C-alpha cells in the first residue's frame, strides 16, 4: 500500500480530455458507493438526485491567475515561465520581489540572464537551482496582468483558446492565487447550485491556492518519504460554523468538492471539531493524505480522475480504498470517461 507502483494504472491517451464538456454540468459523473462497491454512470447534473437536504457542499473559491509567461532569450530562443508564487527567502542581487517559477528550458539559461517578455517586460533568472526569478522591480501580479495567460495543464496539448479564460475557472472563483484550477468545481453551474439549494443542500466556501506541487508526480519508491508542496488555505468562520453544525446535528454529510477541499478540511479538523471558537483558520499546509488515513470531517467527495502516481490519487485511495479506486478507474476506462482537468468526475459516497 505504500509502494509507488501501487498507484499506477493504464490510460489510453485518447481519454485525456483536451477540451471541456460542451456545458459544465453535462460532463459525466461516476457515482461510487464505498459500502457496496456499486457504480452508477450518470451525468453531472444528476447530482441533484444524490445530494440530500441537510448536506453541506464545501467548495474551493480560489481563482487561477495568468501565471504562464512566454518570452525570448537574446539569442531568439523561446522560454516558457510558470510563476508559482513569492520566494520565501531573499537573494543577493535581487531587483524587487523574487518569485519561484518553473522555466523551460531551464538548463540552457545562465544565472543573471534576462528573458524578454511581451510589452517590454523583463524576467531575470536569479537562481537556477532554486528556480528563482525577478521582474526588474515589478511585481509578478503586474507582469501577469500585462502579459500572462492561464496555465493549462501540460497534458492539454493545444494552444490556449479564448474559451479557456472562462472554462478553466469555476463559476464561484473569487480570490486570485492558484496556478491550477480546483477541477472538481469546474462542473458546477449557477443553475445547478440554485437547484441544490432549493432542495435543502447548503453550501460553504474555503480558499486553497492550488500550487504546482499538488499535481507533481511522487518520485519516492516508498510514498511515505514524499513531501508535498506547501500551499496556503483559509477557512472562513462561517464555514467553520456550518461544518460544526452538520457534525453536531448528524443529519447531513459534509461533501468536499475536490481534493484541495479535503486537504484543507482534514488539516484543520482539530480546530474545527475540537476548539470552541469560530474564528477563521488560515495557514500553510503540507498535509499528505495516503492510506491509511482517518477522515474526521469529509463524509463524501466529488473529484475528477487523477494522474497515476500523484498525491491526489493517493488521497482518493485513502478515502475510498486503493483497490476500489483502481477498479473504478478501470470501469471509467471501459466506459470511455474523459480524464484529468477538463474530464469527467466521480462522486464517492
Could you give the CA distance from residue 137 to residue 115 in angstroms, rounded to a whole number? 14
Read off the pLDDT of each residue in 174-198 and give the average, rounded to a whole number: 97
Distance separating alpha carbons of residues 6 and 322, to the nearest angstrom: 8
Tell me: pLDDT of 91 over 60.
no
| pLDDT of amino acid 50 | 97
With 60 as the cut, is the pLDDT of residue 93 above it?
A: no
**pLDDT > 90 fraction of the chain, expressed in percent and rounded:** 84
Q: Evaluate whether 342 touches 181 at the Cβ level (below 8 Å).
A: no
- Across the range 115-143, mean pLDDT stands at 93
Q: What is the pLDDT of residues 314-331, one digit of tens each?
A: 999 999 999 999 999 999
Residues 21, 188 contacting (CB under 8 angstroms)? no
Q: Is the pLDDT of residue 108 over 60?
A: yes
Q: What DSSP character marks residue 115?
A: E
Report the pLDDT averaged over residues 126-150: 93
Per-residue DSSP letter, 51: S
Q: How is the beta sheet containing 39-43 ordered, strand by strand?
A: 39-43, 28-32, 345-348, 300-304, 254-257, 56-60, 202-208, 231-235, 281-285
- The rounded percent of the chain whose pLDDT value lies above 70 is 97
**All structural domains of the chain:** 4-64+162-348 (3.40.1780.10), 68-147 (2.40.10.240)
Q: What φ, ψ does residue 43 adopt, rounded to 5°?
A: -105, 160
Give the C-alpha separation, 230 to 61, whole Å: 18
What CA–CA distance (Å, rounded) separates 133 from 56? 42
Residue 130's pLDDT band (cuts 50, 70, 90): confident
pLDDT recorded at residue 214: 65
Q: Kindly report the pTM of this predicted structure.
A: 0.93
* Phi, psi angles (nearest 5°) of residue 262: -60, -45
Instruction: Tell me how far the alpha carbon of residue 64 is from its chain's centroid.
Output: 10
pLDDT value of residue 129: 86
Q: In whole angstroms, how far apart are CA 98 and each of 79, 120, 292, 340?
A: 18, 19, 38, 31
Mean pLDDT of 24-34: 97
- Count other Cβ atoms within 10 Å, centred on residue 203: 18
**What's the sign of the alpha-carbon dihedral 134, 140, 144, 149?**
positive
Poorest-confidence range of 60-64, 127-131, 139-143, 302-306?
Answer: 127-131
The whole-number pLDDT of residue 323 equals 96
310 CB-near residues (< 8 Å, 6+ apart)? 7, 215, 216, 217, 218
Displacement of CA 320 from its chain's centroid (Å): 19
Q: Which residue has the cell 477498479?
A: 327
Cell numbers for 63, please give them: 481563482
pLDDT band at 11 (very low <50, low <70, confident <90, very high): very high
Q: Which residues pair with 233 in a beta bridge?
A: 208, 283
The residues, any chain, with a CB within 8 Å of residue 312's CB and separated by 6 or more, are: 214, 215, 259, 303, 306
With cell 482518493, the residue in question is 316
- The mean pLDDT of 37-47, rounded to a whole number, is 97
List the one residue out of 326, 327, 270 whose CA is nearest residue 294. 270
Residues sharing a CB contact under 8 Å with residue 243, sequence separation 6 or more, in sequence order: 56, 58, 204, 254, 265, 272, 297
Retrieve residue 42's grid coordinates: 450518470
b/e per residue, 306-343, with b = 16+ CB within 10 A? Answer: bbbbbbbbbbbbbbbbbebbbebbeebbeeebbbbbbb
Amino acid at each position: 500500500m505504500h509502494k509507488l507502483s501501487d498507484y499506477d494504472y493504464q490510460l489510453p491517451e485518447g481519454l485525456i480530455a483536451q477540451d471541456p464538456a460542451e456545458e459544465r454540468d453535462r460532463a459525466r459523473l461516476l457515482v461510487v458507493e464505498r459500502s457496496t462497491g456499486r457504480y452508477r454512470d450518470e451525468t453531472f447534473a444528476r447530482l441533484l438526485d444524490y445530494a440530500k437536504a441537510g448536506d453541506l457542499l464545501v467548495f474551493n473559491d480560489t481563482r487561477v491567475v495568468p501565471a504562464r509567461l512566454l518570452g525570448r532569450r537574446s539569442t531568439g530562443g523561446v522560454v516558457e515561465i510558470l510563476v508559482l508564487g513569492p520566494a520565501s527567502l531573499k537573494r543577493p542581487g535581487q531587483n524587487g520581489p523574487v518569485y519561484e517559477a518553473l522555466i523551460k528550458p531551464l538548463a540552457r539559461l545562465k544565472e543573471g540572464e534576462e528573458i524578454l517578455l511581451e510589452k517590454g517586460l523583463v524576467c531575470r533568472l536569479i537562481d537556477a537551482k532554486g528556480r528563482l526569478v525577478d521582474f526588474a522591480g515589478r511585481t509578478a501580479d503586474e507582469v501577469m496582468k500585462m502579459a500572462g495567460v492561464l496555465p493549462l495543464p501540460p497534458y492539454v496539448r493545444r494552444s490556449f483558446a479564448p474559451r479557456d479564460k472562462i472554462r478553466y475557472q469555476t463559476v464561484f472563483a473569487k480570490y486570485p492565487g492558484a496556478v491550477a484550477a480546483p477541477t472538481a468545481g469546474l462542473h458546477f453551474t449557477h443553475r445547478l447550485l440554485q437547484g441544490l439549494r432549493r432542495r435543502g443542500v447548503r453550501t460553504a466556501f474555503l480558499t486553497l491556492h492550488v500550487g504546482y506541487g499538488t499535481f507533481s508526480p511522487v518520485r519516492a519508491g516508498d510514498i511515505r518519504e514524499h513531501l508535498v508542496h506547501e500551499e496556503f488555505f483559509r477557512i472562513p468562520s462561517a464555514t467553520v460554523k456550518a461544518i460544526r453544525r452538520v457534525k453536531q446535528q448528524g443529519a447531513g454529510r459534509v461533501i468536499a468538492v475536490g481534493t484541495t477541499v479535503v486537504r484543507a478540511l482534514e488539516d484543520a479538523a482539530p480546530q474545527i471539531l475540537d476548539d470552541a471558537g469560530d474564528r477563521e483558520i488560515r495557514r500553510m499546509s503540507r498535509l499528505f493524505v495516503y492510506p491509511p488515513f482517518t477522515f474526521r470531517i469529509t463524509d463524501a467527495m466529488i473529484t475528477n480522475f487523477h494522474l497515476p502516481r500523484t498525491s491526489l490519487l493517493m488521497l482518493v485511495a485513502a478515502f475510498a480504498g486503493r483497490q476500489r479506486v483502481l477498479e473504478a478507474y478501470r470501469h471509467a476506462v471501459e466506459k470511455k470517461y474523459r480524464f484529468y482537468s477538463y474530464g469527467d468526475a466521480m462522486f464517492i459516497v
